[in-house]
Structure 1
Amino acid sequence: MTGVLSNLPPTSGALILLGVLLASSIFADAVASRTRLPRISLLVMVGVGVAIVQQLWLEAPDARPLDGLGEPLVQVALVMVAFLLGGELTRERLRLTGPLILIVSLSVIVVGALAVGLGLLAMGFPLVVAVSLAAISVATDPAAVQETVHASGDTRLRARLLLGIVAIDDGWGIVVFGLAMAALGWMLSGAGGGERALLEAAWELGGAVLLGTLIGLPAAWLTGRLAPGEPTQVEAIALILLLAGVSSWLGVSSLLAAMVTGVLVANLSRHHTRSFNEIEHIEWPFLVFFFVLSGASVDLQRLDEALGLTLAYILLRLVGRLLGGLLGVRLARERQADLPRNIGLALTPQAGVAMGMALLAAERFPEHGAVLLSTVVGATVVFEILGPVLVRRVLR
């Protein structure tokens, strides 16, 4: 059986695996409808199963599911999610919840990063590892939060607040990560390294805003001028592919660029709901690939090397999110009655953005690269399984 699978032509193998992954979502829906488990968690577990088969049974530890096809599928899925989340930030919504989003998100980010960084330093881990993981801990997986909130059907203030926070969390994450890398570069390699890292972070952030504006303005003008139906669907797909491709080419954050585009389309177009609706109709298959491939990216051979650090990172991040949420709710005095005190726990899901940050940190500090990657990938699987459960608990 192993020989048959390993001798499959690449095209046939990729097509079969795509079909299996989509079929797994049907299985996840069936199990989720009969249990209390979120289908996101089930899809991540399917991905872990793919990793076990590929790395242990087929003895191909370095192989990647779908090879080069997996990365663009994941990127398109994340761009779709970011664009839809950007559409949540309309003027009317920001007028009602904008200050609240800012207060709670900054509280969770500051307290959470300090908890992870200072906690790891107190435990004796190296400075590079502690600072890198503190910055990486800021990132939140918007796909998991958005899918869980939408599946719950909750439209209360807490649900709208969560959608608003995850829409800007990756922007905060890019800023914090860039500053952290700049600070480490400054301390370890002098002023030149710090300045270079700061310039790279500024381009990743500023270039994403510029790209999102350049694509978002004409998209906002075009949206609504086409007839509903197939032309609008083509328009929406073209928009997503352009954002994903050009941002990858320019080396800027595709998530932030997509969010900027979503904000512009939602606020400047009279018929903005058409594009968002068309993307929502085709989003789920891409999210299936994203969640399964996130679980399948676990390197089982290296998990034991960073087990202690992984457990410490998971616990400290949970504590930091909880305390940051408590502080944010306390600071938002006039809205305390409408917000649960454990709202920070609903911001624990973490996936692709955190992995990307870990790869960048590993490239910059190769001596700590293996432990950083193993820690973030292992923690990501835990957060993708535990996170949706916590989101549902907070919403209840």
Structure 2
Amino acid sequence: MSISLAVGIIFLAGAAGGKLARYIRLPSVTGNLLAGIIIGPSVLSLVSVEIMSQLNPINDLALGVIALSIGSELHWGTMRKLAKDTTLVFLAEALLTSVIVFFSLYLFGLDFQLALVLAVISIATAPGAIIACIRETPTKGNFSKVLLSIVALDNLLAITLFGIVISFMQTGLADDPGNSVAFIMAAKELGLSLALGLMSGVFLVGISHHAKSDSHILVTVLGIILLTVGLANRLGSPELLAAIVSGAVYINFSRKPKRISRSLLAVEHPILLIFLTLAGAKLDLSVLPAVGQIGLLYVLARFFAKLVGSRLGSTLTAFPMSWKKNLGRALTPQAGVAIGLAIIAEQKGIFEPNTVMPIVLTAVVVFELFGPLLVRKALCDVNE
């Protein structure tokens, strides 16, 4: 099968799955994933493993766009106004989520490194599902701003910790904490990632200032995203961290902070559609029985930790009681960032194939089915 035919099948299947999901009042993300499973090797085999491996640049572009968008949410002026209380909730729920998920999986018998990676991934929250619910539900006030700030911080921490953990595992530092050479190598990889993000962010600032129209910006922005992710991959440094730093630099130093995100709107949906459909196609259904209990434990541990952690953190804030009760349930969705981290974890060759992905995709399907319902209920209950 040719790549163009495969891409056409993926696009049409993903679009049909998303539309059908919305028709029965489910998130389109769930429809994209299920459509991918159907056309993948596990069911109809319309798209082969070989073809999917040749489409990795699309994954890189999608992950770069996701990370850049997360970075562009980290506007210092906006976050400073809500800094103290928002940070308390974020630290409590993120710390508790990672700790509870790690010990739940490790004590269940999972390998230390696998439990650690899944614990880091569990911090990530799906901004897309939450933003969609905010747009659909008439709201006012600062609850939505606080919620989106926590989501951005969650994903920033998840991507940063993931980059650190993977670097340590690749250099052998996880097995030998006293290895100074491995520590220097890991620090070098992180430093290169930060430097790449800083440089690409400066380029984005310059483009936003000098381009004559948004259409002129788009091609250059996509090129910079691919260049940043590709160079980070080439240098062995965390690619998502580079993209998130790039977005943060741009949003904080550009005089036209909305211009690049506005230009990406035209291509963001098709890029994410093919990314999510491909993620579903990569799922090997034959391994699901083996990870069923682990996936269920991951879902329950993450859900419990998000609720309890956000409630504990909010008790130290001046937030209204309705906010304290509802922040946790509004932080449950999980999708693109978690899938992206799972893909990277398996691409690095640290784990066996179909080790991380089935667990994460199982959780994504559950959280994308019920997460948006909980977000909508939270938005209604705070009486905005």
Same fold (TM over 0.5): yes
Structure 1, unaligned runs of 5 or more: 1-8
Find the partner of 2:315 among 314, 321, 330: 330
CA distance in structure 1 between the aligned counterparts of 2:198 and 2:296, rounded to whole angstroms: 40
The yes-or-no answer on 1:41 pairing with 2:30 is yes
Give the equivalent residue in structure 1 for 2:2.
Answer: 10
One-letter amino acid of the counterpart of residue 201, structure 2: G
One-letter amino acid of the counterpart of residue 87, structure 2: L
Give the equivalent residue in structure 2 for 1:217.
Answer: 202
Find the partner of 1:296 among 257, 260, 281: 281
CA distance in structure 1 between the aligned counterparts of 2:347 and 2:4, rounded to whole angstroms: 33
Pick closer, same or farther for the CA change 1:90–1:374 going to 2, 3 Å.
Answer: closer
Cα distance, 1:158 vs structure 2: 2.9
CA distance in structure 1 between the aligned counterparts of 2:319 and 2:4, rounded to whole angstroms: 55
Give the equivalent residue in structure 1 for 2:376.
Answer: 392
RMSD (Å) for aligned C-alpha atoms:
3.3
The yes-or-no answer on 1:240 pairing with 2:232 is no
- TM-score normalized with structure 2 length: 0.83
Pick closer, same or farther for the CA change 1:150–1:280 going to 2, 3 Å.
Answer: farther
Residues 330 and 336 in structure 1, CA contact (< 8 A), matched pair in contact too: no
Q: How many residue pairs get matched?
A: 375
The yes-or-no answer on 1:78 pairing with 2:68 is no
Residues 82 and 259 in structure 1, CA contact (< 8 A), matched pair in contact too: yes
Find the partner of 2:104 among 86, 100, 119: 119
Q: How does 1:1-396 map to 2 (within 5 A)?
A: 9-21=1-13, 23-24=15-16, 28-29=18-19, 32=22, 34-51=23-40, 54-58=41-45, 63-64=48-49, 66-150=51-135, 152=137, 154=139, 156-177=141-162, 182=168, 188-189=175-176, 191-192=178-179, 196=182, 198-199=183-184, 201-331=186-316, 333-337=317-321, 339-348=323-332, 349-350=334-335, 351-356=338-343, 358-359=345-346, 363-364=349-350, 371-396=355-380
One-letter amino acid of the counterpart of residue 20, structure 1: L
Give the equivalent residue in structure 2 for 1:5.
Answer: none
One-letter amino acid of the counterpart of residue 100, structure 2: A
CA distance in structure 2 between the aligned counterparts of 1:113 and 1:105, rounded to whole angstroms: 12
CA distance in structure 1 between the aligned counterparts of 2:5 and 2:371, rounded to whole angstroms: 32
Residues 224 and 272 in structure 1, CA contact (< 8 A), matched pair in contact too: no
Q: Deviations over 1:330-386 (max 9, x none)?
A: 12x21234624242333330432341464278x4465xx765454334333333444
Cα distance, 1:283 vs structure 2: 0.8
Residues 345 and 394 in structure 1, CA contact (< 8 A), matched pair in contact too: yes
CA distance in structure 2 between the aligned counterparts of 1:294 and 1:316, rounded to whole angstroms: 23
CA distance in structure 2 between the aligned counterparts of 1:336 and 1:74, rounded to whole angstroms: 41
Residues 170 and 255 in structure 1, CA contact (< 8 A), matched pair in contact too: no
One-letter amino acid of the counterpart of residue 372, structure 2: P
Cα distance, 1:317 vs structure 2: 1.2
One-letter amino acid of the counterpart of residue 241, structure 2: L
Secondary structure of the corresponding residue to residue 286 of structure 2: coil
Cα distance, 1:302 vs structure 2: 0.8
Cα distance, 1:199 vs structure 2: 4.7
Structure 2, unaligned runs of 5 or more: none
Cα distance, 1:127 vs structure 2: 4.0
Residues 41 and 386 in structure 1, CA contact (< 8 A), matched pair in contact too: no
